[in-house]
Chain A
Amino acid sequence: MSNKIDEGVLRFEFIGCEVAKRLDAKNHSSYGLKAVDIIAESDDCLYFIEIKDYQNPNAPLERRKEDYKMLCEAIEKKDSVFCIEMGVKIKDSLLQCYAMGGNFDKRVVYLLLIRLDKYGSFERGRLKEKINGHVPLGLNDTRFSKFKEISFELVNAEQLKQYGIICTVIP
């Protein structure tokens, strides 16, 4: 069973996931909550996926400059807007899913997709290090018995495949 979800110019195909849904940002903001872009659930995993697609040749210069500034600040500052927002989106999405009776008897994986071809493993590693402090990985503590295992990964489109997620550009 697979699901396909379109986000911007990208199409995500979820192999082996029973449920994959694109969260409606407008609805969530009315609850005072932020949200990641997609939640998907397989037999043994619950994915919270945030998508940052910077590989858009048609993006206006001002937009590229703003994104560049955000990605740089994310490394330079301890509490950057980028990292704080990432943490809030994951935490709010986790809360909503739990409050709506989500099944947490499986691994929870937070995935941040950065689609930017020339952004390499070194850069991803540095950004992940900064975001780690804002993501609720502390829920791995045995006191939080409702959660089995929680992890966070910052990936490119190719690396999504290892999670059974195929990312392509909509023709």
Chain B
Amino acid sequence: MTIKHVAIKDFQVFKDEFVVEFYSGVNVLIGANATGKTTLIKWLYFNKKDKSNNFVFIPEKDILEHSKGLFTFIEKKQTGFGQIYKDVLINAQDTPTIEQSKIQKTICKIIADTIDGEVHYDKGEGTFYTLKTGGKRIPFANEASGYKKLGFLGLLVTSGQLENGSVLFWDEPENSLNPELVPVLVDILLQLSQSGVQIFIATHDYNFARYFDVKKNGDVMFYNLAKENDGRITVCSSPEYTKLSENLLETAGVDLYKAVVKYAMEVDDDE
């Protein structure tokens, strides 16, 4: 399945009608806080899903570290975690053995090499762990946050939940990820896109957006969400990151640059 035309009205920040055409490959959403990036991808996840395809949502907060018993609490509605987190746990625990395509094998190898292992689910314990090369078992609570992120992605690929026709939604994938791993993750996501997975990314990170821009090879569309003075949410899109108008990631980058130059040249506004 591919999500294309979307029209939203009277939903949270989208009070007035909001219309957007999405791309079959990677859709990178940027914008200031409270412009609806996360709201939009959650709306897509809940309203565009049908039983014939895999929708996977990776939220900004890691939940697998707390998996033991959490699923039961969520089922009994004894926590404030919503359906998305329940679905994350279900997706992560569902680990059938599938025959992997060439791209899936490549992705899994990149992840295994990066985190030096693979993520597994212990059904008896109800917990996730990384099985490191060499045989050492690292509980998720002790694993590096960035590695958990990549490892979880590998788990989803291995179990066939991200394959041709699937849709992946990822909210702020840059969280807990060292900048040196950003190009690795971007490469993986572009390969997933080429294998037929439609991807939606909401990000605040310049590095992330820019790596998608320089590596894209035609598979990426950028969307800049903004809130107008009257509260309307508007969007502009471009296959080129640098052609997005009123791009706050760029503005923030320029402001940082100017602050550094001022600091380096010892120029004070008060002088």
Chain A contact residues, CB within 8 Å of chain B: 54, 61, 64-65, 67-68, 71-72, 75-76, 116-120, 122-123, 126
Q: Tell me whether B264 is interfacial, beta carbon within 8 Å.
A: yes
Nearest Cβ on chain B to A61's Cβ, whole angstroms: 6
**Complex A-B: 19 CB contacts under 8 Å:** A54-B264, A54-B265, A64-B265, A64-B267, A65-B271, A68-B261, A68-B262, A68-B265, A71-B261, A72-B261, A75-B257, A75-B258, A118-B260, A119-B261, A119-B264, A122-B260, A123-B257, A123-B261, A126-B257
Asked if B254 is an interface residue, CB under 8 A from chain A, the answer is yes
Task: Give A76 to B256 CA distance when docked, in angstroms.
Answer: 12
Contact partner, A75, options B254, B264, B265, B267, Cβ 8 Å: B254
B222-264, CB < 8 A from A: 253-254, 256-258, 260-264
Q: Which residue of A lies closest to B261 (CB)?
A: A71
Closest 6 CB pairs of A and B: A118-B264, A68-B267, A68-B265, A72-B258, A71-B261, A119-B264
Closest CB in chain B relative to A158 CB, distance in Å = 16
**Quick one: given A61-B271, A126-B253, are A117 and B264 in contact (CB under 8 Å)?**
yes
What is the CA–CA distance of A140 and B261 in the complex, to the nearest angstrom?
32
B125 contacts chain A at the CB level, 8 A cutoff: no
Contact A120 B257 (CB under 8 A): no
Say yes or no: is B266 at the interface (Cβ < 8 Å to chain A): yes
Q: Which residues of A contact B271 (CB under 8 A)?
A: 61, 65
Where the two chains meet, the residues of B that have a C-beta atom closer than 8 Å to any C-beta of A are 253-254, 256-258, 260-267, 271
Please indicate the chain A residues that have their CB under 8 angstroms from the CB of B264 in the complex.
Answer: 54, 116-119
The distance from the CB of B205 to the nearest CB of chain A, in whole angstroms, is 14
Name the B residues within 8 Å of A118 (CB-CB): 260, 263-264
Contact B257 A116 (CB under 8 A): no
Which residues on A sit within 8 Å (CB–CB) of B265? 54, 64, 67-68, 71, 116
A sample of 4 more A-B contacts (CB under 8 A), given A71-B261, A72-B261, is A64-B265, A65-B271, A75-B257, A120-B260
Q: Judge whether B257 and A72 touch: CB under 8 Å.
A: yes
Chain B residues with CB below 8 A from A117, complex form = 264
For residue A54, which residues in chain B have a CB less than 8 angstroms away from its CB? Answer: 264-265
Alpha-carbon distance between A7 and B254 when the two chains are bound, in angstroms = 31
A76–B258 alpha-carbon span in the complex (Å): 9
Which residue on B lies nearest to A116, using beta carbons?
B264
Tell me the complex Cα distance, A123–B271, Å. Answer: 24
Considering the chains assembled together, what is the distance between the CA atoms of A76 and B257 in angstroms?
Answer: 10
B254 and A76 within 8 A (CB): yes
Cα A122 to Cα B264 with chains together (Å): 13
Q: What B residues does A71 contact at CB under 8 A?
A: 261, 265
Q: How far is the CB of B97 from chain A (nearest CB, A)?
A: 45
Nearest residue, chain B, Cβ from A129: B242
Using Cβ atoms and an 8 Å threshold, which residues of chain B touch A123? Answer: 257, 260-261
Smallest CB gap from B242: residue in A = A129
CA A149 to CA B244, docked complex, whole Å: 33
Q: How far is the CB of A68 from chain B (nearest CB, A)?
A: 5
A75–B263 alpha-carbon span in the complex (Å): 16
- Report the nearest B residue to A76, measured CB to CB: B254
On chain B, the residues within 8 Å of A72 by CB distance are: 257-258, 261
Closest to B251 in A: A76
Beta-carbon nearest neighbor of A57 in chain B: B266
Inter-chain contact B267/A65, CB cutoff 8 Å: yes
On whether the beta carbons of A119 and B258 are closer than 8 Å, the reply is no
A64 to B269, CA, bound (A): 12
Q: Which residue of A lies closest to B258 (CB)?
A: A72
CA distance A126 to B259 in the complex (A): 14
CA A131 to CA B253, docked complex, whole Å: 17
How far does the Cβ of B207 sit from chain A's closest Cβ, in whole Å?
Answer: 10
CB distance from A118 to the nearest CB of B (A): 4
Chain A residues in 8 Å Cβ range of B262: 68
Q: How far is the CA of A51 from the CA of B135 in the complex (A)?
A: 55
Which B residues are CB-close (under 8 A) to A119?
A: 260-261, 264
A160 to B249, CA, bound (A): 32
Contacting residues, chain A, for B261 (C-beta < 8 A): 68, 71-72, 119, 123
The docked-state distance in angstroms from the alpha carbon of A71 to that of B265 is: 10
